A and B are shown apart, each in its own frame.
Chain A
Amino acid sequence: MLSSIIFLPLVAGALLAVPAVPDRVARWTWIAVTAAEVVLVGVLIARYETPADGDLAFEERARWIPSVNSSWHVGVDGLSVPLLALTAVVFSACAVYGLREDRRPRQHAALFLALQSTCMGLFAAQDLIVFFVFFDLSIVGMYAAIAGWGHGRDAGRSALQFFLYTFLGSLALLLGFIGLYLAADPHTFDIPELVAAAPLQDHPVAGGFVLAALLLGLAVKTPTIPFHTWLPPAHTDASAIGSAVLAAVLLKMGTYGFVRIAMPAMPDAWRGAAWVVLAVGIASVLYGALVALAQTDVKRMIAYTSINHMGYVVLAVGAAGLLGTGTAARELAVTGAVTQMVSHGLITGALFLLAGVLHDRTGSYAMRDYGGLARSAPVWSGLFAVAAFASLGIPAFSGFIAEFQVFAGSIGTTAWAAIALPGILITAALFLRALQLLVTGLPGGRSIGFSDVRAVEAVPVTGLLLLSLAIGVLPWLLLDLITPASAVLVDLVGR
């Protein structure tokens, strides 16, 4: 079941790589496969029953490299199922949006299908080497997506910067994995075994170094301050769906690594580093929001709000490492963090797709070039307004549920987390300012003659926003999945 979900897109992508396939077939195959993935993940969720503490559902295991105790081990729990669903949804939205892509559509579809496999594989991996393989391959795929289909003169340069940064991160991660492997007795790369053994529990110095390597690797991918500098150029020069996938799915790989590997396998070291993580989270929240406020380019602005939103996740996982107060607050923080991963994926994916429409029509992202889009493009303006309000955390959307839990949990653990609260205010200000510049007033500049969104653009965005609304109105749908897993995680960190 799980393996077929992971490999279906890859196989389809490989078939599309054959030159004889016509472009039209490639486009519709892409949509069909991503739709099948959504159905498969839906079936998976329908049949999912919360596993016993520390166990996994839909577990599969096959021999791979027995000499280093590494196997093809996949399985899911409440931390990974939401992200698998997010991946399936975002990629199918991108497939629909991608109908409009006329530059080498066959290769484009093949590349994104392969990329989808790496994301699915990463969120299901229960072996460090399998995790690493998918982590690295996602970098290669995203590099090709930015370099091959990005726009702007500097797409190649941004792609290279993205690759170098995240590859450095992945090597740090590999060092950390090797450290964990060597510390375990017997040596193993299996994540559940490592979590059960917590091998570096009584080795503060070695544990500190290994955790530092893991943190560095995951922080680059997330990205948090000060490793975020690759993100704005990568987003600015990537295509609309490249940005959407990068922000909605690939950034989650970093924060997912925290909750899947770093926290449960190294509880002792995590508690030691919790204040540092918390501080980095607060800094990311505030800095990301402030820099986003200063942007004049709408896509760069959304990119910086990603740093701000991912900062909430970092803040929450940092707070989860602070013992002393009740476990309820820390569980709430972790649940909020996972909810935020999903929520940010949906909302930011929609925002980037909407920004892509701007560039598609006029070739400009500069907010000053527009104005009065509400008249010339009412549907676009409506969708953008909804996405902007969802992103700034208005109730009834997923962002509110996530941020509420993050702050309730974190401040419940330490009052210092409240320093990050102004981040919400600044985010609200910057989105309102963007709305004012782009949407309100009389049409001017490039808004004149701006044609409204077409169906292939509106449908995926609407789908993503409706899901965000569904989580906002009926949060228990998602929270019932996550809460048991975050309780287990908080238990493990408290060891």
Chain B
Amino acid sequence: MEQSPLALLPELCLLGGAVVTLLAGSFLPRQRQWVARLVAVAALLVAGVSAALAFPRDAPLGGVTETVFGAFVLDTATGVTRLVVVAAVLLVIGLGVDELAGQARESETYTLLLLGGLGAIVLAATDDLLTLAVGFLLASIPVYALVGMVRSPGAAEAALKTYLLGALSGILLLLGATVLSGIAGGTAYADLATGLAAAPAAAVAVGALAVLAGLLFEAGGVPLHQWVPDATQGAGTAAAAFLTTVPKLGALVAAARLVDVLPGSLPWPLLVGLLAAATMTLGNLAALAQTDARRLLGWSTVSQVGYLLMPVAVVTSTSAATPALLVYLAGYAVTNLTAFAVLAAVPGARSLTDFRGLARQRPALAAALVISLLSLVGTPPTAVFLGKLTVFTAAWDGGLAWLVVVAAVNTVVSLFYYLRWLVEAFRPGEPAATAGWPHAAAVAGALGVLAVGLGAGLVTALVGDGTLG
């Protein structure tokens, strides 16, 4: 047990960075808000470097992992989440520069991005129900504000919807935490593991499902997904990119940690597997009909949560589950952000037909779109292919072969809408006005997607055989 607060240096960097960004932004004239951006980026870079240095290289597999204050686990999962969150927020800032520069609330946006990222890390790293509740609030409140940052009727409606669902699921999560800690006699997961074994199954079910509901809201999984497409469509592009990526990183790792300690009195793999199947199927079917690119990505991200829930379902039954989850999370994050970077690079384009002429006018951007969408489908040699390969393997190994078949069929369904978008991009059409920074972010993201896919050996070595601490 280490109590050194320095072990939390990445988190402290994000927190400090958020405060300094906010303060700096308050005193800066509107034309010089870029200083606040620099502060935020610097904070992220320092957080990233310290997270890389603190990466648990020799973490004893499945053995005792370091914790800080008894509630913050420093294992491979935390290490990977930290790195991915930091990289994701950096990409969000990169793709959002042109959109946010000179806006009234530019520095506030950066502050919210940093705080939301911090919340996601806390969610992923904690093994205590109370800290989980704190992480939930820290991860979700910035999202409400980010969605409402654009002053449009759509954004206002989306923010309200997100807030209401978030408040409801927050209450559910607190209720579940209360029930679980009440019957287990403690809030730490270690207490849950021992205390729940002999507890009545019904009470465990109510408590655990309520906590899971909160995490499903954060991740955007069925049945608490309704806010995702609205918020993705209504919010600004940078905010949409953030809310479809970063909160999931924290929520899914948190869900895996929770499912890992639940007693076997209920068939948790089956229950989570059913949730996964419902999430991917609903997300895909709803995405089929979309003509707005943002809304399409909103539904696509719901379906991706379904695949991400597959390793969560089998986390107790196979050691391959956690590495698979981490690989998929990293691959999904870089892929999804690349797709959003393409959106940000063509600010005027809303519907799929607005992308006509992209291949002719902006071949690099079109290539980034092709790579990101094919990656979302799961075509090799891209990042999500590696994710799907590991996740399918883990789910099958964990005894959910039927879920793997459902996921494969779903993948074929998803082809319809991703290809529809690609076909539009390759049709002749009017030249689209593009923005500079997001263009660079999209190309960088596309290279990242290929790097994760081709550098599969490195990525899987990083996540190792890590089990949850």
Contact = CB atoms under 8 A, between A and B. Distances in A.
Interface of A: 19, 63-68, 70, 129, 132-133, 136-137, 140, 147-148, 156, 160, 163-164, 167-168, 171-172, 174-175, 178-179, 181-182
For the complex of A and B, 8 pairs with smallest distance between CB atoms: A133-B380, A67-B460, A171-B408, A65-B456, A168-B412, A65-B457, A178-B393, A136-B380
A160 B461 CA distance: 37
A140 B380 CA distance: 10
A129 B392 CA distance: 13
Interface in B448-463: 456-457, 460-461
B460 A164 contact: no
Contacts of A160: 419, 423
Nearest to A169: B412
Contact of B393 (A19, A148, A171, A182): A182
B379 interface: yes
B381 interface: yes
Given A133-B380, A160-B419, A175-B404, 16 more contacts: A19-B363, A67-B323, A68-B389, A129-B380, A136-B380, A137-B381, A140-B379, A148-B426, A163-B419, A167-B411, A167-B412, A171-B408, A171-B409, A178-B393, A181-B393, A182-B393
A172 B408 CA distance: 8
B416 A174 contact: no
Interface magnitude class on chain B:
20 to 34
A175 B426 contact: no
B456 A156 contact: no
Contacts of B363: 19
B397 interface: yes
Contacts of A168: 412
A137 B390 contact: no
Given A67-B461, A147-B426, A181-B393, A163 B456 contact: no
Contacts of A136: 379-380, 385
Interface of B: 323, 363, 374, 377, 379-381, 385-386, 389-390, 392-393, 396-397, 404-405, 408-409, 411-412, 415-416, 419, 423, 426, 456-457, 460-461, 464-465
A68 B412 contact: no
28 contacts: A64-B457, A65-B456, A65-B457, A67-B323, A67-B457, A67-B461, A68-B389, A132-B380, A133-B380, A133-B381, A136-B380, A136-B385, A140-B374, A140-B379, A156-B423, A160-B423, A167-B411, A168-B412, A171-B408, A171-B411, A171-B412, A174-B392, A174-B408, A175-B392, A175-B405, A178-B389, A178-B392, A182-B393
Contacts of B404: 175, 178
B379 A63 contact: no
A175 B408 contact: yes
Contacts of B419: 160, 163
Contacts of A175: 392, 404-405, 408
Contact of B457 (A19, A66, A163, A174): A66
A308 B256 CA distance: 51
B379 A174 contact: no
Contacts of B415: 163-164, 167
B396 A68 contact: no
Given A68-B393, A171-B411, A172-B408, A137 B379 contact: yes
A137 B377 CA distance: 13
Contacts of A64: 456-457
A230 to B, nearest CB: 13
Contacts of B426: 147-148
Q: Considering residues B393, B404, B415, which has the most beta carbons from chain A within 10 angstroms of its beta carbon? A: B393
Nearest to A132: B380
Contacts of A133: 380-381
Nearest to B381: A133
A169 to B, nearest CB: 10
Nearest to B388: A174
